[in-house]
Chains A and B, each alone.
Chain A
Amino acid sequence: MPKVLLVDADWENLVALQKALTAAGHEVAVALSGSFALTMLEWDRPDCIVSLTENQDMDAYELCSIIRADPATKDIPFLLLTGPTGPAPGAASRAGISRVIAGKFNVSTLVDQVGELLTRTPAPPAPAPAREVDRARRSIVN
């Protein structure tokens, strides 16, 4: 099941979007802040990230830039949800944002866009952890 990470400072939005994407067959993880989202990626790698422009501690452009700078996360598709005016010219491409939905949208648009991103850009294979790391993880879990 494709996994989507939703980032939004507004809890009510987050719940509504989560319900829509879950109903479309996605497994959905949520984060209220950019920092929480970024520290999730190491253990719970999504196939696609959907973020509003403004989050609790960093905007979506910075969030995406950090994701693109890390070889382990750089290929994750990133969908930005903005206000009606959309991003400033060049801002989205500079940050490495894959797609933008500007202004009001309906649920089916979001679901379609996420679906397209997942199809068009194959989810990056999770990097095989070094054997030592794998062993260490197992020893902690067990």
Chain B
Amino acid sequence: MPKVLVVDDSLTVRKVVERALEARGIQVLCAASGGEAIQCIERETPDLVICDVIMPDKDGYEICEFVKTHPELGKTPVLLISGIVNGAVLERAAKVQSDDVMRKPFAAEELVRKIDGFLSAGGSTTRLLPAATAGGDRTDPAPSLGALDGLATRAQDPLPDTSGVLSAPDLRALLGQFAGIPGVVVAALIDREGFLIESAGAVPGEAALAWALAASVAQSAAGIGQELNQGVLQAMIFESEGGVVLLHAVGPSAMLAVVLNDATALGKVRYSVKRALPELLRAM
């Protein structure tokens, strides 16, 4: 039976991990601090370590470094989890040879998929790549005409079960974070051709809005949209009769559009988008 150590000072997070992995027949060991974790790692030699980045005594980077420089345990995969995933976090994670970084909050489904990937690989076979390239090998099937039918999106299309890549429900949950911000009408991820990849926040009566947005982005892709993420322009904000629209590049092939009916929420939305970009990039 595989053995996984979860290190987090939050009892609630430990419970979520424990519950999700035990249901998969994985033995779960728990540690509430860095000190406890070090002892547990030496005593139990787990097959994988899941570790919160921020803890009261030793941080997740220190735990990861301890594992990776250990003469006998150096190949044990370490998954860091963090409430903030930005360039600085990814850089530090790569420096201590973390195998991946997962953002909190997360759905158990996403965690299980990552863990399955690590355990089936039989040890640490990958290393964290810069956010822009990590998980960048996803090959989506071409969108069908049905993808333009309101909210029927690629979510229904079969996706390769690739570890570390967000599934459609995860992507929807990710977009749901933006849609949950008061003042946001809809958040949609749209590819350069104008196909709606996924959206959240639009009730059925407003599906046409997401569709129209996709179409307008497709048109603008021939012009200013092509400049997005080319080192010139990463995001733009424009006003329409329906409200304010924030358009942000998600890698070279997609754009995130967030429609607001309350412009005062723009600051919060921009902050949330910046925080979520690494995860969105992995989904692409």
A, B bound: yes
Residues of A bordering B, CB below 8 Å: 11-12, 14-16, 18, 22, 27-33, 35-44, 56-58, 66-67, 69-73, 130, 132-133, 136-137, 140-141
Can you pick out 16 interface pairs between chain A and chain B where the beta carbons lie within 8 Å of each other?
A11-B200, A15-B201, A15-B202, A28-B180, A32-B169, A32-B173, A35-B16, A37-B105, A42-B12, A43-B104, A56-B109, A66-B16, A69-B11, A72-B10, A140-B54, A140-B86
Interchain Cβ contacts within 8 Å, total number: 112
Residues of A within 8 A of B176 (CB): 11, 14, 30, 32
CB distance from B259 to the nearest CB of A (A): 13
CA distance A40 to B272 in the complex (A): 14
Select the stretch in B35-43, B55-63, B232-240 that faces chain A: B55-63
Contact of B173 among A36, A38, A67 (CB under 8 A): A36
CA distance A42 to B108 in the complex (A): 16
Residues of B bordering A, CB below 8 Å: 9-13, 15-16, 19-20, 53-57, 59, 82-84, 86, 88-89, 104-109, 111, 169, 172-173, 176, 179-180, 182, 200-204
Q: Top 9 closest A-B pairs, CB basis?
A: A35-B108, A39-B105, A30-B180, A40-B105, A70-B11, A130-B56, A43-B83, A42-B10, A136-B54
CA distance A84 to B203 in the complex (A): 25
Residues of B within 8 A of A43 (CB): 83, 104-105
Residues of B within 8 A of A31 (CB): 105, 173
Residues of B within 8 A of A57 (CB): 20, 107-109
Residues of A within 8 A of B54 (CB): 133, 136-137, 140
Most buried by A among B12, B82, B104: B12
CA distance A101 to B20 in the complex (A): 29
Q: Assuming the A-B contacts A57-B109, A141-B84, are A69 and B182 also in contact, with contact meaning beta carbons closer than 8 angstroms in the complex?
A: no
Cβ A136 vs Cβ B109 within 8 A? no
CA distance A116 to B53 in the complex (A): 37
CA distance A14 to B182 in the complex (A): 13
CA distance A136 to B53 in the complex (A): 9
